Amino acid sequence: MEMIQTPEINLSAICHILTLCVTGLLILVLDLFINDQKLLPFKIDKKLLPYVALGGVILAGISSMNDFGPAVYAFNNTIAADNFAAFFNVIFCIGTALTIMISINYMEQEDLNHSEYYALLLFATAGMMLMALAASLITVFLGLELMSISLYILAGFNRAKVESTESALKYFLLGAFATGFLLYGMALIYGATGSTNLKEIAAAIKGDTLNSATLLYLGTGLMVIGLGFKVASVPFHMWTPDVYEGAPTAITAFMSVGPKAAGFAAFFRVFLVGLGGITDHWVSLIWVIAALTMTVGNLTALAQTNIKRMLAYSSISHAGYVLVALVAANEIGSTAVLYYMLAYAFMNIGAFTVVIVLGKKGEENLNLEDYSGLASRHPLLGFTMAVFMFSLAGIPPLAGFFGKFYIFSAAIKAGYVGLAVIGLLNSVVAVFYYLRITVLIYIKDPVREFPPLSISPFTLAALVIAVIGTIQLGIFPSWILEIAQSSSLF
């Protein structure tokens, strides 16, 4: 009897994913037996489970940092553990760790203290890592779905609240719809090139051994729709403000950073590695989407009165800036995206943390007016919010400025001056609505009494980390840029 040759198994290439999955399962199982302490050999308090999750994420983050170095291809070339993936994985771990830190107090306050929340966060992070590591369409799809399915549940986690379940339903229906397009695109690309492996797809395009060029172009277009939806680019952005508004705020913070970065990781990997040979065919499409995303995102953000919706539109416009880097398709662009996503993780989660700190159960204080005069009552909190707003607006010397600077210089270097100009004009528009909040905080008189703040140590730590990250990346960008440069796809 002939035995089947099994491909080489390299568990160390995915040990961060395994860490997250095992920790997630552990939390689920521990939670089951918490009410039945006699079945457990040791005593454990339900309050400890979030810290178990945090520990798992930190471990995964450390093992992602160990991944920097020569690229490792594992599992029959479906996993590419290179610097690009390692950099993204570190971003995911930072995003998830910060989310867990701000969730501990928030979820208790909202009476949502279920351990499944943390398990799902870990599973979603594992999915994002799989997307960053993916070197095959199958792994891209699996990672994307692991992330999305966890997020559908997380968006509707506050199941007693109509808005939360409604946002989950919208996210689910539109997400599954987009998955259909993405998959059809993958199927056509597979048919055209005869492989699901990104490198083999690239080789088939380069060696001109395509079965059908038409199918390839059709598939590429369908994949743009599918991935464009996941990163919330115009015209596939309609779900974003609704879902961001309805989901629990901690989850909104999480969704605006990790899954978006993961979507871009997959976007860059598939389009630059797999479909890099037909750049001419998709670049104009992405050009239009990038310009639309920036413009529509920023202009609609101007009209918002709810801070969560405003941040949702702002995150749409930021997706537009990152797409500019994809259009550039060069080394600076790829470097800039890594830097930008890291900076964005700090500043956006930071901004949402301030939103969480200012809210109480049943009284979330989400109107922009509620921020009037914040600095006169809570000067430090007002200052941190101002830092995040300035950074999101792209004002030097904060992290957001350098991110935008590198992205636009990448576009100019690649010859897309028009797109860079559109981006610059958009940044000017964006300054207006970010500054409006800062003006409210510093110049307006308070419209209401601010209650005394009760900020838990972990939330405070998350806020401090976010502020330090935002300022530090802005003032000393060079060391992180060096790492990003060594992690670029080119």
Question: Which of residues 222 and 385 has its CB atom nearest to another protein in the complex?
Answer: 222
Question: Which of residues 162 and 475 has its CB atom nearest to another protein in the complex?
Answer: 162
Distances from the Cα of 416 to the Cαs of 157, 280, 348, in angstroms? 43, 13, 28
Shortest reach from residue 171's CB to another protein, in Å: 9
Question: Which of residues 106 and 172 has its CB atom nearest to another protein in the complex?
Answer: 172
Residue in 240, 64, 50, 259 with CA at minimum distance from that of residue 145: 259
Shortest reach from residue 16's CB to another protein, in Å: 18
Question: Which of residues 192 and 275 has its CB atom nearest to another protein in the complex?
Answer: 192
* Three-state DSSP state, 6: coil
Burial tier of 11 (Cβ tally within 10 Å: 0-12, 13-18, 19+): exposed
Question: Which of residues 138 and 481 has its CB atom nearest to another protein in the complex?
Answer: 138
Shortest reach from residue 194's CB to another protein, in Å: 5
CA 226 – CA 211 distance, rounded (Å): 23
CA 436 – CA 203 distance, rounded (Å): 51
Question: Which of residues 42 and 160 has its CB atom nearest to another protein in the complex?
Answer: 160
Shortest reach from residue 92's CB to another protein, in Å: 20
* Three-state DSSP state, 449: coil
Shortest reach from residue 236's CB to another protein, in Å: 14
Shortest reach from residue 38's CB to another protein, in Å: 14
Shortest reach from residue 394's CB to another protein, in Å: 29
Distances from the Cα of 132 to the Cαs of 127, 143, 155, 347, 429, in angstroms? 9, 8, 22, 22, 32
Distances from the Cα of 188 to the Cαs of 79, 216, 251, in angstroms? 22, 6, 34
Angle at 266 between CA 282 and CA 219, to 5 degrees: 40
Binding site for another protein (CB under 8 A): 1-4, 6, 25, 28-29, 32-33, 137-138, 141-142, 145, 149, 152-153, 156, 159-163, 165-170, 172-173, 176-177, 179-180, 183-184, 186-188, 190-191, 194-197, 211, 238, 241-242, 245-246
Q: How far is CA 408 from the centre of its chain?
A: 21
Residue where the block lists tokens 């904060």: 398
Question: Which of residues 168 and 325 has its CB atom nearest to another protein in the complex?
Answer: 168
Angle at 42 between CA 38 and CA 43, to 5 degrees: 80
